[in-house]
């Protein structure tokens, strides 16, 4: 019997699972017959230190995963789960990963299943050279900020969303659930 297809969606601090990039990830997963488990962060008031924040993310991603193997799609804050995901050997797609956090970089680098990394060249937490060093699967958007918005007309940012959706689907089909 084939294992169920499951994806956990771990949003950013100010980027919910209903925002465009995670919406497209959910749509890609849904179209492949998979169950999605979106997370809405429950942030305790006393969370302030980076280690406390990482522990909160790990706990909630772990809860969403349960004992299941799943694809994890994380945006920004959600990428703090990279250590957990790497330890469990799960596939991942990291949108605007926190490449300025050494623990995130080490986790991505150690992953048995190299993730898809998607970031913007104008994002202060993105480092294209580091991304290309730690994973062979990288989409870097020139001029894009942390939300993967680009200057100019809104249609330019919409085109970026299309590129991200194409990359998500190709990665899922080639590296997560190849048929």
What does the pLDDT average to over 70-81? 97
- How many structural domains compose the chain? 1
pLDDT (tens digit, 9 = 90+) per residue, 102-122? 999 999 999 999 999 999 999
54 lies in some domain: yes
pLDDT beyond 90 at 53 = no
pLDDT band at residue 179, thresholds of 50, 70 and 90? confident
147 lies in some domain: yes
What does the pLDDT average to over 135-160? 98
79 lies in some domain: yes
pLDDT band at residue 50, thresholds of 50, 70 and 90? low
Question: Which CATH number fits the domain that encloses residue 33?
Answer: 3.40.50.1820
Which range of residues forms the domain containing residue 74? Answer: 6-176
Give me the pLDDT at residue 51, please. Answer: 73
**88-118 CB burial, b ≥16 within 10 A, e <16:** bebbbbbbbbbbebeebbebbeebeebbbbb
């Amino acid at each position: 019997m084939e294992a169920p297809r499951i994806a956990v969606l771990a949003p950013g601090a100010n980027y919910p699972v209903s925002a465009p990039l995670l919406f497209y990830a959910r749509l890609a997963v849904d179209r492949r017959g998979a169950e999605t488990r979106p997370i809405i962060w429950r942030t305790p008031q006393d969370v302030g230190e980076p280690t406390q924040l990482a522990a909160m993310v790990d706990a909630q991603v772990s809860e969403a995963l349960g004992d299941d193997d799943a694809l994890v799609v994380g945006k920004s804050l959600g990428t703090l789960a990279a250590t957990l995901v790497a330890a469990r050997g799960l596939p991942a797609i990291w949108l605007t990963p926190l490449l300025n956090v050494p623990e995130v970089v080490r986790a991505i680098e150690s992953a048995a299943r190299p993730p898809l990394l998607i970031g913007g060249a104008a994002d202060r937490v993105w480092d294209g050279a580091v991304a290309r060093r730690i994973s062979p699967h990288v989409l870097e958007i020139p001029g894009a900020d942390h939300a993967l918005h680009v200057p100019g007309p809104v249609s330019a940012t919409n085109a970026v969303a299309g590129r991200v959706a194409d990359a998500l689907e190709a990665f899922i089909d080639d590296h997560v659930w190849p048929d």
